[in-house]
A = this chain, B = another copy of it.
Amino acid sequence: MRSVSVIGIGETKMGRLKTQTLKDLIKEAGNKAIKDANIEKEMIQALYMGNFNGAYWSTQSHMGPLASETLGLGTIPTIRTEGACASGSLAFREALIAVAAGVYDVVLVGGVEKMTHQATEKITTGLASASDCLCEADMGATFPSLFAMIANRYFHEYGNIRKEMAMAAVQNHENAMLNPNAQMQKLITIDDVYNGFPVASPLTVFDCSLITDGAAFIVIAATDVAKDRGLNRAIKVIGSGHAGSALTLAGKKTITTFESTLKAAEIAYKEAGLTAKDIDLAEVHDCFTITQIINTEDLGFFTKGQGAKGLAEGKTARDGIIPINTSGGLKAKGHPIGATGLSQIYEIVTQLRGEAGERQIKKADIGLSHNLGGTAATCVINIFSGR
């Protein structure tokens, strides 16, 4: 398998983008990534598109050729990948395998979602389709309620971390203030989180990630091909892992540790020849504040039950030992479902290039992206090196 590098990145501003269609978002982010890669469109040999639910929210499926026609990419093969909130990372993962295997040299990976034009009920129902409909959604479960159960069980097993969950939200809002593409540009306090609109106890609205329109695109290439082209800003993908677990909460052995993360991390760390200690920064899947804390444990940044303490001690802040979600995360940068995994990679690559401006962290050699789908029924992890 060949070494593969990210050679171009592009994303839209995240938010309520009322005047932009799916095609507008694709055009903007796709062309930014291609321009950033400094390649001709003719070099792109395939397009992998992550999209969660254009079918339900915009009656638009078949996002592969929609994007390739919009971007003027001719007759290249395209595919849409879907794995709930990990749809974008799945596109990246499949593209990575194809380039590493030598099927293609240069591939465009995109993710897009448009949600905010829909009524709240339709957004919630569409999101709930990522659960087991017969056993969960149709019984009244929504994702906030499922993750609220996870939080309550976590409290039972490891103690009440309500305050630290609020601190995670506060920190992500702080980071988003320094990210011009972030949807949320507002500082909040722990009291704001406590007093937020109750969604599913213990989660208030400030514990929940955002409803977001947006797109993110990544150009990857065989590292040798990138070198031949003199593309010196290439960021290597040095490890990748993908794993799953039962779709239903009831089907999982435990809901306070995500088995899919454990397994995907084991694979990715092994491939990279690294451990959690070697990671300089990570974008982790903070669909809810509880999720962020569990993820930092499952990824090995903190021992089990110690994630909240680590956060409270400032270890996940931009100047901490393992900065988490410097982009603002799903919580404050935004969560355009199908684009989220690629927007995480956008942030990691930006940091590893040293181009993150005011939010740039000091030591950014090795970065990790961690993307979940559903209640962690899908997990994709990638490790990147700027060395």
Contacts and interface: CB of A to CB of B under 8 A. Distances in A.
A77 B245 CA distance: 8
A232 interface: no
30 contacts: A21-B134, A53-B55, A55-B129, A56-B59, A58-B133, A59-B126, A60-B133, A61-B82, A62-B247, A62-B373, A62-B378, A65-B244, A65-B245, A65-B378, A68-B244, A68-B246, A69-B247, A69-B251, A75-B244, A75-B259, A77-B378, A78-B378, A79-B81, A81-B81, A82-B82, A94-B94, A94-B97, A94-B98, A97-B97, A97-B101
Interface in A103-136: 103, 125-126, 128-134
Contact of A1 (B83, B102, B251): B102
Interface in A46-63: 46-47, 52-56, 58-63
A55 B58 contact: no
A225 interface: no
Given A97-B103, A101-B97, A84 B61 contact: yes
- When all copies of this chain in the complex are counted, the total is 2
By secondary structure, the A interface counts as mixed
A243 interface: yes
Contacts of A167: none
A263 interface: yes
The 8 A-B residue pairs whose C-beta atoms are closest, nearest first, are A101-B101, A65-B377, A65-B247, A77-B242, A61-B129, A69-B246, A80-B82, A62-B84
Contact of A53 (B61, B247, B264): B61
A129 B373 contact: no
Interface string A75-99: 1111111111000001001100110
Given A62-B83, A79-B242, 8 more contacts: A54-B129, A69-B132, A69-B248, A69-B377, A75-B243, A77-B242, A77-B243, A97-B97
Interface residues of A, number: 66
Given A61-B129, A62-B378, A251-B69, A244 B55 contact: no
A17 interface: no
Given A129-B55, A243-B77, A62 B374 contact: yes
A142 to B, nearest CB: 12
Contacts of A125: 59
Interface string A214-258: 000000000000000000000000000011111110010000000
A260 interface: yes
A202 B224 CA distance: 53
Contacts of A243: 75-77
A353 interface: no
A373 B61 CA distance: 11
A96 to B, nearest CB: 10
A75 B260 contact: yes
